[in-house]
């Protein structure tokens, strides 16, 4: 009996819905609480304890290389907008609108998510 260690051809998987498993680690690309991707190397997340927002910068450009590192930690929406603007990340009105739609504090954002 022969043992085949090759993976089946990809055509067998055509039409299947990919499975997405969000991570609980803030440094991962697949972290589940990303609020906004500002640029390829910048994003805003909600911390894993839902107490604050974190502006993160990626240590390397390509996906799956490097890690996300916190640059600023804030609880106020207005401070989040001010910091994002000071780094030059809110040049697009649509990104500013996403942040302006957040509740005034990270805690209120958490409470709003619980009620949904």
- Kindly report, residue by residue over 22-53, the tens digit of the pLDDT: 888 998 888 999 999 999 899 999 999 989 99
- Burial pattern 80-111, b for ≥16 Cβ within 10 A else e, equals bbebbeeeebbeeeebbeebeebeebbeebbe
Q: Report the chain's mean pLDDT, rounded to a whole number.
A: 83
Residue-level pLDDT at 11: 47
Burial of 68 (0-12, 13-18, 19+ CB in 10 A): buried
- Ranges of the chain with pLDDT below 50: 1, 3-4, 7-11
Query: Global pTM?
Result: 0.77
Q: Judge contact between 57 and 47, C-beta under 8 A.
A: no
């Amino acid at each position: 009996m022969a043992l085949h260690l090759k993976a089946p051809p990809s055509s067998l998987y055509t039409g299947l819905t990919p499975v997405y498993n969000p991570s609980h680690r803030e440094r991962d690309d697949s972290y589940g609480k990303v609020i906004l991707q500002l640029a390829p190397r910048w994003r805003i997340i909600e911390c894993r304890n839902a107490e604050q927002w974190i502006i993160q910068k990626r240590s390397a450009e390509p996906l799956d290389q490097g890690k996300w590192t916190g640059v600023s930690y804030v609880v106020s929406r207005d401070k989040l907008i001010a910091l994002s603007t000071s780094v030059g990340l809110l040049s697009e009105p649509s990104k500013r609108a996403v942040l302006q739609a957040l509740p005034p504090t990270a805690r209120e954002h958490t409470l709003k998510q619980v009620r949904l």
